[in-house]
Structure 1
Amino acid sequence: MSTRNPLSIILDQNKLIGPNYNDWLRNLKIVLNSERIAYVLEKKPPKEAAANISETELAKLDKWWDHDLQAKSFILASMSNELQRRYEDAANAADIHYHLKQFYGVQTRSERHAIVKELMTTRLREGASVHEHGVMMIGLIEKLVGLDVVMPAELSTEILLMSLPSSLDGFVVNFNINKL
């Protein structure tokens, strides 16, 4: 009998209900990586073993199915009851992952668009707190990173600097010259 993964508590506390798909997936990958079985989310095993399969290959296949069952169990246990019912008969963990990504990934696209739009159009008003503006901009950038948007630090910095009013042009020039 195997012991419970202590990291699985994050799945208990953050069950998939739909809109929280990206956060849930990140937590699921943490647990599956700690078990060294995250690979089953992306790759499907063969449906049947060939008749002339070697003992080594058969052992690999059995191990794959054990890992897939374990991952599928983590996935189903960390879903709302409604989603569990919908996916309990899925063939494998990769199928569940694929369907969830297809269903909830569309929402991610519109969320990403809204955040990028806000990030690119937000400007600091004259007299407003630079600190609060910076914190808000960093928060938007972190939301994008949470949606798996790859954004180099230099680009993030440039977007933030471009959001400053012309009264702070001296600061921007000084920042760029001194490479702070």
Structure 2
Amino acid sequence: MSTSTGDVADQTSTNNNSNFTLLSILTKEKLIGPNYMDWMRNLKIILQYEGKEYVLDKSLLKIDKSTATPGEQPAYKQHYDDATNVICIMVTTMVPELQKFYEDYYPYEMCLDLVEKFHKKLHQERYDVVKALMACKLHDGEYVCNHVQRMQRYVERLEKLNVSFEKELSIDMVLNSLPPRYDQFVLTYHLDNTETMLTQLHNLLLITESGMKKNHVPSVTSATVLAIVQSSGNKKEDRSSTKLEGKGRCWII
């Protein structure tokens, strides 16, 4: 079956357009350091499409042409050509400071250095944020609004560091951070077994806090919590997100 010149040209044009589209994804957000994880993920997607991802994991070893087998020479040339193409993509999608530093590297050696520079730093940052999140406690005199929003910022930062948080886990961590005077609130909240978003929990705590201050009571009764939860359950909420709305402000429903 013969292929016309026009068909070949169309196929080549399609491939070039696809390559340009994929590369544009990477160039939208150049590597600056803290975005290393996102940048590397996009890079691997592009190289998987091109069939060249192997150059990130395999060092380019020089061969002695005088003793190389007939199969080794073309394999080396293919690896060399692919590595050259990939290094151009990697360097092009970096900020100028990193371009100058890595312009003479090959992909495999560059990946090792990038892991040392940025991936380990991100791992340390992830550990620090997790530690801070787990240590969060609502202290006497602190507004529950500020407390919950601080925990939410930690959750959002972890999500940016590729740590996935289930809705229930975020809520459990907030409940665990409350002082003993909220024990009855937590107990009744669990007994009610109502599916609640973090935004709703935030508003429940605001209402509870307001009632405790108004009545000058050290804790909240089960009847109060049940009434609040049932009242909140009758309101429609957007369940598409666990993020707090209205940063810097406290919303009461």
Separation (CA, whole Å) in 2 of partners of 1:18 and 1:126: 36
Aligned to 2:136: 122
The residue type equivalent to 2:22 in the other structure is L
Alignment of 1:1-180 (within 5 A): 3=16, 4-48=19-63, 51-55=67-71, 57-90=72-105, 92-123=106-137, 128=145, 136=153, 138-144=155-161, 146=162, 157-158=168-169, 160-164=171-175, 165=178, 166=183, 167-172=185-190, 175=193
User: Cα 1:121–1:159, aligned 2, differ >3 Å: closer, same or farther?
Assistant: farther
- Residues 55-85 of structure 1 deviation map (CA, whole Å, 9 limit, x = unaligned): 3x43333222222112111101111222112
Larger Rg: 2
Query: Root-mean-square deviation (CA), in Å?
Result: 3.5
Query: What stretches of structure 1 move > 6 A for 4+ residues in a row?
Result: 131-134
Moved more, 120-129 or 98-107: 120-129
| Contact in 2 for aligned 1:16/1:24 (Cα 8 Å) | yes
User: Cα 1:135–1:163, aligned 2, differ >3 Å: closer, same or farther?
Assistant: closer
Separation (CA, whole Å) in 2 of partners of 1:60 and 1:28: 23
Identity of aligned residues (%): 28
Alignment partner of 1:5: what SS?
helix
Q: CA deviation at 1:38?
A: 1.6
| Contact in 2 for aligned 1:137/1:160 (Cα 8 Å) | no
Separation (CA, whole Å) in 2 of partners of 1:169 and 1:137: 25
Separation (CA, whole Å) in 1 of partners of 2:32 and 2:173: 37
Separation (CA, whole Å) in 2 of partners of 1:108 and 1:121: 20
Q: CA deviation at 1:15?
A: 1.1
The residue type equivalent to 1:7 in the other structure is L
Separation (CA, whole Å) in 2 of partners of 1:17 and 1:137: 22
Greater relative contact order (CA < 8 Å, ≥ 6 in sequence): 1
The residue type equivalent to 1:89 in the other structure is D
The residue type equivalent to 2:121 in the other structure is Q
| Contact in 1 for aligned 2:155/2:165 (Cα 8 Å) | no
Q: CA deviation at 1:22?
A: 2.1
Q: CA deviation at 1:105?
A: 2.7
Separation (CA, whole Å) in 1 of partners of 2:130 and 2:108: 30
Separation (CA, whole Å) in 2 of partners of 1:42 and 1:103: 17
Separation (CA, whole Å) in 2 of partners of 1:60 and 1:68: 12
Alignment partner of 2:59: what SS?
coil
Instruction: State TM-score, norm by structure 2.
Output: 0.54
User: Cα 1:169–1:64, aligned 2, differ >3 Å: closer, same or farther?
Assistant: farther
The residue type equivalent to 2:160 in the other structure is K
Instruction: State TM-score, norm by structure 1.
Output: 0.72
Q: CA deviation at 1:99?
A: 1.0
